Structure 1
Amino acid sequence: MLILTRRPGESLYLGDNIKLKILSVQGKQIKIGLDVPEDMTVYREEVYLKIKEQNKQALETSQQDLLAAAALWQKKEIKK
């Protein structure tokens, strides 16, 4: 992990298109401004992790459905 020190009003860039600016520091909270391309999605970590988990569950369901369909197809083929 890269650790940088920035003061309120200072910025840093991630590549050419993403700018992070430290807006203020109050106690344990830091306000960060983000300039990102319009087509880029930004998630809070807890939302991102929930989306990843839901996608994983959806994929598992799809694989189970595919296996069930294959089993039904095999039964149908055996009857012929």
Structure 2
Amino acid sequence: MLALTRKVGERIVIGDNIVVTVVGVKGDNIRMTIEAPKEIKIYRGEIFDAIAAENKQAAVPNDISELDMLKVLQINMK
């Protein structure tokens, strides 16, 4: 992890194509812009965590018997 101190107007460059610029500081809040190619997804941390949790939940079957039924179907198809 890298921790930096930046002033308004100063930038951080990530790789060759991502630029983070501090545009304002008000109390405990920092306002920044992020310039990145459109194919790079940018999420706030809490949104990213919610998406990851939802994906993890979707990957777990709700009922183990459903998984057992799929195994039986696979055996019958052979």
- Which range, TM-score by smaller chain? 0.7 to 0.9
State the SS of the aligned residue for 2:41.
coil
Match of 2:20? 20
- Which amino acid in structure 2 is aligned with residue 58 of structure 1? A
State the SS of the aligned residue for 1:31.
strand
TM-score for both structures, normalised by structure 1: 0.80
Count of aligned pairs: 75
Which structure has the greater CA radius of gyration?
Answer: 1
Pair 70,22 (structure 1): closer, same or farther in 2 beyond 3 Å? same
Structure 1 residue 71: Cα displacement: 3.7
Query: Which 4+ runs in 1 deviate beyond 2 A?
Result: 64-68, 71-74
- Which amino acid in structure 1 is aligned with residue 35 of structure 2? D
State the SS of the aligned residue for 1:54.
helix
Pair 37,73 (structure 1): closer, same or farther in 2 beyond 3 Å? closer
Structure 1 residue 73: Cα displacement: 5.3
**CA RMSD after TM alignment:** 2.2
- Which amino acid in structure 1 is aligned with residue 70 of structure 2? A
- Structure 2 residue runs of 5 or longer lacking an equivalent are none
* Residue identity (%): 33
Residue 10 of structure 2 is aligned to residue 10 of structure 1: yes
Report which of the two has the higher share of helix. Answer: 1
